[in-house]
Amino acid sequence: MFKNFLNKQVNIAQPIEARKEQVKRESVPSHIAIIMDGNGRWAKKRALPRIAGHREGMKNVKKITRCASDIGVEVLTVYAFSTENWKRPKEEVDFLMRLPVDFLDTFLPELIERNVRVEMIGEPDVLPKHTQGALFEAMERTKHNTGLILNFALNYGSRDEMVRAMKAVMQKVQQGDLCIQDVDEVCLSQHMMTSHLPEPDLLIRTSGEVRLSNFMLWQLAYTEFWFTDILWPDFEEDAFLDAVQGYQKRNRRYGGLKGEETN
């Protein structure tokens, strides 16, 4: 019931390009974050290995990236691999570490053509060299692009991010570069991995799970949530536009009142 309340589908039988134009007439979220969940269950339903679901899920990132770019989203952050995902079987982890290489090898020319800039949040140091190489090359070759930012959360955990931010602030205080009185929300935000990005307007989580799973806990304080039962590989453009149109119907008050509520 909770999910259904948050996720009222906008079932409009329109061609996808017409829907994109309709969405663009309203306020489009500047930053959309996605927890891409359900790859393993998608594969299991088809009696396939889990890695087949991950492969299909990465293909779907391409579709949603194109759609987000088309409607004018500024930042698309996708939760690709968490700090907790290292606990998975080695074969699966090794495959997941190959996916960014394959993804960027085939998709980078189109990203460049579309003026998309590739970025990442997370700790890259422990990633395999081939994963680091693919990401760093994509980031270097797209660093001057001015369109959509495709932001991979890779080896990312929000609690780890906050601990690192606090340590950086504490070190500055100890060194005398920062006064304790100046440590506030703005100061902490400036030490997060997303300090140069707007906070997410919309969070989408697929597969029916209704939790944040250690994802952008600081940044999601006033984000609108959209939960759906659709498994990530099946989350097509229509479903993505449903989420955006659902967001456009929300009344974002940030703790205050808007419109007729103030009368």
Binding residues for Mg(2+), as ranges, are 37, 224
Rounded to 5 degrees, φ, ψ at 176 are 85, 10
Which of these, 230, 163, 233, lies nearest to 193 by C-alpha position?
163
Residues sharing a CB contact under 8 Å with residue 101, sequence separation 6 or more, in sequence order: 130, 131, 133, 134
Taking the alpha carbons of 138, 143, 146, 152 in that order, is the dihedral positive or negative?
positive
Catalytic residue among 7, 11, 37, 234: 37
Active site residue 177: no
Task: Count CB atoms within 10 A of the CB of residue 99.
Answer: 19
CB-side neighbour CA atoms (13 Å) of 216: 32
Q: Which residues are annotated as a binding site?
A: 37-42, 50, 54, 82-84, 86, 88, 205, 211-213, 224
- Give the number of other CB atoms < 10 A from CB of residue 180: 8
Q: Is position 11 annotated as part of the catalytic site?
A: no
**Residue 165, C-beta contacts closer than 8 angstroms, at least 6 positions apart:** 188, 191, 192
Please list, in sequence order, all residues whose beta carbon lies within 8 angstroms of the beta carbon of residue 167, skipping any fewer than 6 positions away. none
Catalytic, out of 4, 7, 70, 85: 85
Lookup: tokens for 199: 């906070």
Q: Which ranges of 121-236 does DSSP label H, i.e. alpha helix?
A: 129-142, 158-174, 185-189
Catalytic residues: 37, 85
